[in-house]
Amino acid sequence: MAKPNRRDIFKMGAAAGATAIAASARAAAQPAAAPPADDSWSNALGPGVDSRPYGRPSRFEKDVVRRYVPWLSPTRDADASFTPLQDQPGIITSNGLFFERYHAGRPTIDPDRYRLMISGLVRKPLLLTLDQLMRFPSVSRIHFIECPANGATEWPAAQLNSLQLTHGMVGCALWTGVKLSTLLDEVGLLPEAKWLLASGSDGAHMDRSLPLEKCLDDCIVAYGQNGEAIRPEQGYPVRLVVPGWQGNVNIKWLRQLQLGKTPWITREETSEYSELLPSGKALGFTWVMDAKSVITFPCPEKPLTGGPGFYEIRGLAWSGRGRIKQVDVSLDGGVNYRRAKLDEPVLSKCLTRFTLPWRWDGKPALIQSRVTDETGYVQPTIAQKHKFWGNDPVYENNSIQTWQILASGAVNNVQIS
Amino acid sequence: MAKPNRRDIFKMGAAAGATAIAASARAAAQPAAAPPADDSWSNALGPGVDSRPYGRPSRFEKDVVRRYVPWLSPTRDADASFTPLQDQPGIITSNGLFFERYHAGRPTIDPDRYRLMISGLVRKPLLLTLDQLMRFPSVSRIHFIECPANGATEWPAAQLNSLQLTHGMVGCALWTGVKLSTLLDEVGLLPEAKWLLASGSDGAHMDRSLPLEKCLDDCIVAYGQNGEAIRPEQGYPVRLVVPGWQGNVNIKWLRQLQLGKTPWITREETSEYSELLPSGKALGFTWVMDAKSVITFPCPEKPLTGGPGFYEIRGLAWSGRGRIKQVDVSLDGGVNYRRAKLDEPVLSKCLTRFTLPWRWDGKPALIQSRVTDETGYVQPTIAQKHKFWGNDPVYENNSIQTWQILASGAVNNVQIS
């Protein structure tokens, strides 16, 4: 179909001049204020340049922060905060805004005292310092990490009128470190070694079992995050990155890698990540994050403030199975779909940005995105998810998100059958 | 040639155990301290999780900072600070560590008062608010920005024994914004329009002339930097990104885009960026950053602390003309070269990470990297550069960098003929 006409993008009427457009575009969002009659905003120098050894955002960006849902957890030790996706312009998540999730607190680790133990069914166990870990051949890869509880509040109904709080347990960064396969090659696996237990340094030394095949594939023992050391919230100084697999196996503050014959069936693997099905049986080891997408503009935090006219719908899509193949956007609640444009590069197990030009006629609309990944997997609706999971699931909510646009330009989180 | 044997990477002798390796590997770099006999470093929880709205690095990373050279400038208003490349694990430069360069101070701009004017030889001039700019169709691209004065101190001789201070006026980020071509299409260019003047909001409203062809190619009017708003040091709230071209044309705190017939020959274009050749003539508009590479490990800040054995040589390469084609590393001062491995993805006008496995025999060595880009351009030696530029150039030092490795593992900045 024909692309919307972008010419005269802000054309609101023949007599509308640029200044009038400025006023009307801003009226809905801001208290009424005349556009400045002068350009003094660009002339203020200040007392000189305080060149900062380590920079920080503009103070005008103070509302771009992680947020959390107080009723989600009884204590702050087992808690989470969410990435403000509504303010993330591209696929990289800023280190200061990357979501947090703590099962048993956050340790403060002195890198000089840090040790990584590799033990169990290996020829030569190792105890590595951080310096020694950094000497190994290294790789650098952009991958998302998503908690499988992302969107958990939305299973029963559309509960939180927010992009950040419904989708913000995901982040994407450039991770640098040593391939786990390199380390396993160094210690030498015994033939009986089939599983690996990765454990971290939080209050419970949280641990997860991983099959050897994945360990030898693309896992990274990482120490770098977007140009600097991993942040304390993301596991300083070392975390495991298991591309495309649920967040909790990407063990933070990694302390030990132990090789064994069978999975350990640890506390987290029974109390949390075994998922009850309607049949009464439980599904274990649901590792791979299924493909998911969401429109990040417009969204509840970012309504349409300029009235009818041209907007660009924007969003993010990702899959734990590989690359995104396509994203389709519906403007009528899933009846018709249009193909969105994907930003290059499209990388495997990584966020991909999509856009769709849209001329909004000012009427209510129901907008959604639906991703298909390279395996052919198609993002399901929440109804389709309930058919499999029943009514009480916690995890795996990768369902299509519908945003309801009102004539006022406000955006609501809704669920439609 | 055969790859160095990585097995037993830390094998220092038959009797060497892991703990002994830990001690020796660290001895050179740290005051003598016994490895911890317990793992109490991993058990300390602290008083609970203070989930931060906006995170910051670990306090143990306090030495990873921008640094500057005091004698480079008489005042702090016209100054620069350098990216600590020795602590940058991959191609992305952390927002807090991205180099600074101020010609006339750093303005503090209220985004609500910000305006972008597009004027001159256009059909319909525009004055855009930030909200309006953000409504346009957008793109997201990873590009480096480098100041052409990067390495300027090294023209006469190897002066600064530092990677950071000789190469740190470069950074790489994911820039999100509106293609300049989109904005120029919106205003409609008159046929006589051939040049564009971009001006910023520093104390001199610094401005540079750009040919229309480049403007219509890949330039971006950017508001996003690595997952958040552009930093004040990099031009908050809006800067121009001119991929592959010298840093100063990537105008920060962008206020105006003016279309005209001929270049303006502004102050910066005469006093600074017209470069005197030995013939007495001056070269103007040397826009494109020639291909360049440098080994980031080892380097003066990061010596070899583990004695003879396996190390991975690491570095960064980039070209203003497009993609890197290959990087070759020499261990003997340029006599013999080996092909380095490039990390994926290899992107155009973007940093590329390269690595080479190396088994150091403990003897002095002279290591260098040499990049070839996709146009066939080969990074020159400093001697080759002097042949063209004479003895007194300031800019364009993209020459091959030699690091001298001493038997002690220390690394010095040297120049060889």
Cβ atoms B320, B369 nearer than 8 A: no
The residue whose two tokens read 């939080």 is A202
Whole-number Å distance between alpha carbons of A260 and B149: 55
Q: Mutate one of B21, B24, B30, B42 to test the A interface: name it (highest A CB count within 10 A).
A: B42
Taking CA atoms, A320 is separated from A18, A145, A294, A385, in Å, by: 46, 9, 15, 17
Q: Per DSSP, what are the bridge partners of residue A258?
A: A119, A197
Residue B334, both tokens: 């340029």
Chain A nearest-CA distance from B285, in A, is: 27
Q: How far is B278 from chain A (nearest CA, A)?
A: 36
Confidence of residue B394 (pLDDT cuts 50, 70, 90): confident
Residue A410's identity, in one-letter code, is: A
The Cα-based distances of B136 to B196, B255, B287 in angstroms read 20, 17, 28
Asked whether A233 and A98 are in contact (CB, 8 A), the reply is yes
Half-sphere exposure of B359 toward its Cβ, with a 13 Å CA cutoff?
11
Asked: is B64-283 a CATH 3.40.30.10 domain? The reply is no
List pLDDT tens digits, range A349-406. Answer: 999 999 999 999 999 999 999 999 999 999 999 999 988 887 777 888 999 999 999 9
Strand partners, A48: none
Phi-psi region of A188 (alpha: psi -120 to 50; beta: other; left: phi over 0): left
A36 touches B at CB < 8 Å:
yes
d(CA A276, CA B366): 62
**Do residue B94 and residue A93 have CB atoms under 8 angstroms apart?**
no
CA dihedral A151, A154, A159, A162 (to 10 degrees): 30
Chain B's closest residue to A186, CA to CA, is B7
Give the pLDDT mean for B85-108.
94
Give this complex's ipTM: 0.88
pLDDT tens, residue by residue, A290-334 = 999 999 999 999 999 999 999 999 999 999 999 999 999 999 999
Q: Tokens 């002097």 appear where?
A: B386
Mean pLDDT of the residues in chain B? 87
* Nearest-angstrom CA–CA distance, A7 and B124: 11
pLDDT at B71: 76
Strand ranges inside A66-138, DSSP E: 80-81, 100-101, 116-120, 126-128
Tokens coding A140: 């650098």
DSSP A414: E
Architecture of the B292-414 domain: Sandwich (2.60)
How close does chain A come to B306, measured CA to CA in Å? 9
Distance CA B124, CA B137 (A): 19
Sketch the domain layout of chain A as residue ranges: 64-283, 292-414
Q: Sort out which chain B residues have CB atoms less than 8 A from A201's CB and list them.
A: 42-43
Query: pTM here?
Result: 0.89
Q: pLDDT grade, residue A77 (50/70/90)?
A: low
8 A C-beta contact, residue B194 and residue B212: yes
DSSP per residue, B275-292: EE-TTS-EEE---BPPPE
pLDDT tens for A12-49 read 332 333 333 333 333 333 333 344 445 666 655 444 56
pLDDT tens across B22-78, in order?
Answer: 333 333 333 333 444 456 666 554 445 667 899 999 999 999 999 988 777 776 666
E strands, A319-398, in order = 324-330, 338-339, 341-342, 352-360, 365-373
Q: How many CB atoms lie within 10 A of CB B361?
A: 10
Instruction: Place B203 in a pLDDT band, splitting at 50, 70 and 90.
Output: confident
- Chain A CB contacts of B226 under 8 Å are 92, 94, 226-227
Mutation choice for B interface testing from A38, A102, A140, A241 by most B CBs within 10 A: A140
Interface check for A38 against chain B (CB to CB < 8 A): the answer is no
- CA atoms of A203 and A274, how far apart (whole Å): 21
* A207: nearest Cα among B92, B331, B42, B328: B42
pLDDT at residue B275, rounded to an integer = 72
Cβ of B55 within 8 Å of Cβ of A87? The answer is no
